[in-house]
Structure 1
């Protein structure tokens, strides 16, 4: 009994001692841990990045290029990101990310201890089961630290720094600001940074248009953007999406019914369709170049400026269609040059075909194909995507064998004359199921510009046949001889220096001294004929070389050179007689701009691709039109609100302060003469458009380059077509046959719903009825066909008719000859066109 009594106190004492030892050890270890933690904290707290920089968060965001109608044209960025404030992000989208990444976000201090413990236990069990996947416990705040302040290395040291910084940030930054940083910075795959960019990439929507299942899908992507990419692995993406939706249900962000409905829906992606994108890569690249010159390349790709351009998407689409058609028609006319190469079509042809290098770029709608077999009426082809299709023999009638630029073979009579088994060719899907058309990459190329004459706004442009970025732009970079389109500037010099459209020049043989050591210059007309007394108007309309050179000689080459420079065609043209026939070089953009300055009354304009630029904060930092609009705003608007009579309101107006490059009368005279080129001259085919137009064809020596510059009262178009490595287009090819069809096809659509507007007539011009052959007042004996209303300046003198002078009306007999130009500026069909001269009674002046 006594022993029992003695044992109990000893037992109690031992228990107390054990408890004391345990407490002491616990305190000791806590102290050790605290001290160790302090030294670890102190060690890793040194030299940490300054998280205060996050207060001035200014991420790299996307520069966006918009067309004139506000539709998105292109984007430039190092990281595709569009910043959006947290208040503009839908709550369900926020909740989806919270449910997937950090449901305790608003309750912890940057580090979620419970989540760390739970993940550690789960990872331990995963290791015991042999699972390779290990879960993480990083909070959204820690992810912000990792993305903004630290490297992505997976080390214990980095995790410690991450935890320290996450804790500190949570003490300083509001939770919503941290979430705003996260949702705008996080990478979500396919080049998209932030929720706004991802919404556009995957669904072509703004964030406020997303539905629940789309929001949940975006919230799956931070975990593994590549593995969970719905375009590559839709099954895994859907599983993860549904897990996010269930987490939203568990966190009471949505009801169970909403969750079930969302989980039942398939993943439906909607990238932007090709037909919704304006094809304007050459234009966009030119805008990018201009922006880089203004603000630097880094700013363009990082600072998210917003650019409103001058491009009209409707006109651009019409231009691309017309230009491609013109190039293709020329290429087809000159025959089929054969297959791109040959491969073995009996084995694994698809793999071999995919590796085959065409060495040239081609349209995105075309595919490499190999001929697998032939039948009487068709060829079976295999496409690089594995699809099998058919080319019908009936569609190959164009494929006459190319012999040389002036000669093609006969139309094929059997399919084997065009295609053989193993041929590698390009095909494009037709409108019929399973049927493909044979395509050929054109060797010829060119440029196109459409510009508004009164503003200089470039509304359409292409610099080549295949619309792809980062290419040589033939509209702005290619320097080419413009042929007879250059004659116009010689005539402007003449009109500025006392001549009139009715001035007579003798079209007869001439030999001009070119200086020491050079042979005399002896221009000739294309027909090898001379036409005698010729008015300036007829000389330009019929593109007469001799008339033009004689006129330039009388005016003086110095004056012609000065006009060429003043209109910006070339900055340093050579003072030689061939200048007026097109020997100097220029670009499509320069020539379009120069002609625009004739149409607008002689006002200097600069071609503009950019209308307005705003910085990332919405402040306007550039505006094309810097004129002040007087009376466009009122200091006290209320005094005008109740006015019933509109006349009482002040009329706003913009002061037109453009420099005059030539006087309005000269500008109208040359415009009227160029209208005559369409009405009676080398561009008569353009009359099929059915509008009031002017223009000038141009073809260089040996038909190396073909040009057409044409215009209505409000739109100027320049077209150039030629080879990149200059060679002849063919002995029968001219500006009228190659370039002008592009202009015609474009203008027919561009002006389809617009009235036929006469060219603006300045008050300094008077119209006088003359004999268009003699350039003088008509006599009672003058036939009606020769009577013409000519545009004179108010102080011009018109000569009385000289009855004794004999003018042979060769122009009236032009059915037997062709409009002349040793640069071969003529229309193949002129001989069959009715060339009756009609009295051109000007509209709107009486």
Structure 2
């Protein structure tokens, strides 16, 4: 007999069926209503994450990152499995099974929102969070949640689970400007996420819940509690054992803020690149994930930085100890914590570390470092040598005890020696710059714009316009050879009063030594850097002729004073411009253009720019001089055919000037460079009045380097300071490293050069068996045809009168 169901039960079942149908009908209607106006989830396949620009050396060492958001995208295969498990345990343990929404969790979240008007428990799956992070606002509204649900369903249809997981891992904000978990690992632990421990993975997985408040730096305790809960969840879900969970839960929270792990200190290079990238790509330079390979070579950049720091420290030590940077009030024991915090806030500059004096003995001191450690400075490590500074030309008596040098509470600088011991030092007030080019291409292989970017962002290598002094003389002499003079031409090095409307009413130039040497061959004059000879040959050539020649060489002559002071290098220019000109002397007479960016890659690793410098070298003569279009082969292969740099100096003039500049190293003002034990070095010192500027520009055929030392406010360097004492040692220390693996090169003698034996007293041909002779190089058309015996005294006097 058929049993009849009670009416109330039938009514309940009918109502339930009706409610369920109504729910699905409503959900479908809502889906159809909302979906047309929502973004296309398929666009996530091509999403461009904001990724900072990375600046690398030519050999791939990280120099700097630029961008507001710190992000390093990961592929799914690069994400460690234990971290995947930790994140699923924290956020969405059913992620790989659901279709984008968790109905039970969602129902709980919706009911709490309806009842309390506030968002309580979760309910958002990883897919819903992806929808929110990429497409929606963070407003906590019912409509936004509905849009999130619909988008999550659509995303699950358009993308694989692995793609969705990648999107979440790379986009989520994790505090302290870190976006994505790889960036968070670098920010909090200073290493890749692949190298972290289970405890660290779990801690990172817990940050998304409250990234600004509960990250391990802002609130270590809250981060630890969240981490331990996640570890327990991982154990309950079977991802790890209880023993592994307990072990990880006992681990301390050792996270702290880490900056991008720069592998190469080249801040001035980084700033040059940043400015050029912004000029090329605008604000997208900071967000589009460009990777910029510079022309800088890591080994050479390190050598350049070390040479500049050492050179300035040695200069500074010759002028005395200026005392403490500041003084701390209080007691070194009672106020230890506040002193440490003060010291910690002072930046380390050029490896010179701030410290506070906390104890003074007869012949030693103890100092407090920013990390809280106490180190001892012994008498022989800077204290004994700390004669008090009086001025740039005078320092006081040597100290007899440590208290003659420092007082308790003094804020000083120390440096750690290779032995591990610390020594007293001080921040030099003088500045320096060094720039080194590959002479045949113009590649900037190293560049230092000052002792420390954190102390001064002004780039003295590219921005400081300083008088080059005698460093400019080689180009005066090249112009003289071009006008028909020779390396053997006699010029009278004697006092002369010049009347020039563009100069002072009366100008009485002198040589640096204060001496005059009478009739002097041009080779001797350049070797000894005689000012009067340079002025006389410029007077004979004409200033206008010299300006035209300098412009041919690539100098910006707009700011050059059109007067005889040009012979002494009184026109200002940055070190890079002088290095560019010396590259002409190094490479055989070709004009190359310095550049800093070797290659640019986009976020996909595709090369979007690659430098194709014009080559300046004798073997390059068969290359085209310019390119107006690329061949189809070049377009398809991505390779560019090199082009030849223009020749701007006659190869015979170049050969003679180069040979004369080698004598500056062998016998002249740059003799200290002989310590490098090479025969292919050439260059010229330069010291300006004061002296205010000290220069050395020199080269071997493949590399050219300019070093400069001076004060930003144009103060005098000191009466005993010259280019040979201040700038040349920097150049030597750098080139010792730069030339270590480079073979010596010898110049071939170009066609049209004649080698003749001359009388060193007259510059004319020597008689057979005559004493005081030497071999000299001439252009064939300028070779002397007569000997001094054939030229009477009258003609010799006439020659000296002309000059």
Give the aligned partner of residue 675 of structure 1: 662
The alignment's TM-score, normalised by the length of structure 2, stands at 0.85
**Separation of aligned partners in 1, 2:454 and 2:120:** 44
Secondary structure, in 3 states, of the residue corresponding to 2:147? Answer: helix
Which of 687, 692, 697 is equivalent to 2:674? 687
Greater C-alpha Rg: 1
Provide the residue aligned with 1:699 in structure 2.
687
* 1:537–1:673 Cα contact (<8 Å) kept: yes
Change in CA separation of 1:514 and 1:302 when aligned onto 2, cut-off 3 Å: same
Residue 144 (structure 1) shift: 0.7
Give the whole-Å Cα distance in 1 for the aligned partners of 2:773 and 2:526.
18
SS in 2 for 1:702: coil
Cα deviation, residue 46, structure 1: 8.6
Is contact 1:697-1:709 (8 Å) kept?
A: yes
Which residue of structure 2 aligns with residue 646 of structure 1? none
Match of 2:395 among 399, 408, 414: 408
CA shift, 1:317, in A, is 0.8
CA distance in 2 between counterparts of 1:256 and 1:119 reads 30
2:285 to 287, 300, 303: 300
Report the Cα offset of residue 780 of structure 1.
4.0
Instruction: Note the C-alpha offset of 1:257.
Output: 9.2
SS of residue matched to 1:665: helix
Distance 1:267 1:529 in 2: 72
The answer to which of 508-517 and 465-474 deviates more is 508-517
Aligned residue for 2:567, secondary structure, equals helix
Residue 553 of structure 2 is aligned to residue 563 of structure 1: no
**Inter-CA distance 140–793: structure 2 relative to 1 (3 Å threshold):** same
Pair 1:330-2:320 in alignment: no
Alignment of 1:519 onto 2:505: yes
User: What is residue 641 of structure 1 aligned with on the other side?
Assistant: none
Q: 2:599 matched to 1:612?
A: yes
In structure 1, how many angstroms separate the alpha carbons of the residues matched to 2:419 and 2:732? 30
- Of the three residues 187, 192, 209, the one matched with 1:223 is 209
Aligned partners of 1:370 and 1:381 also within 8 Å: yes
Is 1:708 matched up with 2:708?
no
The root-mean-square deviation of aligned C-alpha atoms, in Å, is 4.1
Corresponding residue for 2:56? Answer: 66
Instruction: Tell me the secondary structure at the aligned position of residue 685 of structure 1.
Output: helix
Among candidates 145, 148, 151, match of residue 165 of structure 1: 151
Deviation per CA, 1:712-751, whole angstroms, max 9, x where unpaired?
1211110111111111011121111111111111122322
**1:591 is matched with which residue?**
578
Offset of 1:613 from its aligned partner? 1.5
Mean Cα displacement is larger for which, 769-778 or 549-558? 769-778
Q: Does 1:749 align with 2:737?
A: yes
Q: By how many angstroms is 1:418 displaced?
A: 1.1
- Structure 1 residue 734 and structure 2 residue 722: aligned? yes
> After superposition, what is the alpha-carbon deviation per residue over 1:458-504, rounded to whole angstroms, capped at 9, x for unaligned?
11110010144981101001111111111121111111121221122
Where does 1:202-281 land on structure 2 (aligned, <5 Å)? 218-225=204-211, 229=215, 244=230, 247=233, 277-281=263-267
CA deviation vs aligned residue, 1:735-776 (integer Å, no higher than 9, x gap): 111111111111223223433333454344343333344322
Instruction: Rate the CA distance shift 1:453–1:398 in 2: closer, same or farther, 3 A.
Output: same
Q: Indicate if the aligned counterparts of 1:402 and 1:408 stay in contact, CA closer than 8 A.
A: yes
Q: Which whole-Å CA distance do the structure 2 matches of 1:344 and 1:486 have between them?
A: 52
Aligned equivalent of 2:800: none
Kept in 1: contact 2:473–2:569 (CA 8 A): yes
Shift in CA distance, 665/403, structure 1 to aligned 2, threshold 3 Å = same
Name whichever of 185-194 and 211-220 sits farther off: 211-220
**Which moved further from structure 2: 720-729 or 772-781?**
772-781
Provide the C-alpha distance between the structure 2 equivalents of 1:548 and 1:107, rounded to a whole number of angstroms: 86
Give aligned pairs, total: 768
Counterpart of 2:316 in 1: which secondary structure? helix
Structure 1 pair 20–273 and aligned structure 2 pair: CA distance change class (3 A): closer
Residue 299 (structure 2) aligned to one of 314, 323, 330: 314
Aligned to 1:101: 91
Residue 16 (structure 1) aligns with:
6
Q: Which of 581, 584, 598 lines up with 2:568 in the alignment?
A: 581
3-state SS in 2 of match to 1:371? strand
Give the TM-score, by structure 1 length. Answer: 0.81
Q: What is the CA deviation profile of residues 797-841 of structure 1, one whole-angstrom value per residue up to 9, with x for unaligned ones?
A: 22432137799xxxxxxxxxxxxxxxxxxxxxxxxxxxxxxxxxx
1:81 aligned to which of 71, 78, 91:
71
Gaps of 5+ in 2: 624-630, 634-638, 794-803
**Superposition map of 1:258-657 within 5 A:** 277-296=263-282, 298-346=283-331, 349-350=335-336, 352-353=338-339, 362-363=348-349, 365-395=351-381, 396-429=383-416, 436-468=422-454, 471-515=457-501, 519-572=505-558, 573-625=560-612, 656-657=643-644
Cα-to-partner distance string for 1:605-653 (whole Å, 9 max, x where unaligned): 000111112222333222212679999xx999xxxxxxxxxxxxxxx99
Q: Which residue of the other structure, out of 85, 90, 100, is the alignment partner of 1:110?
A: 100
Cα distance change on mapping 1:489 and 1:213 into 2, 3 Å = same
- The separation in 1 between residues aligned to 2:148 and 2:566, in whole angstroms, is 72
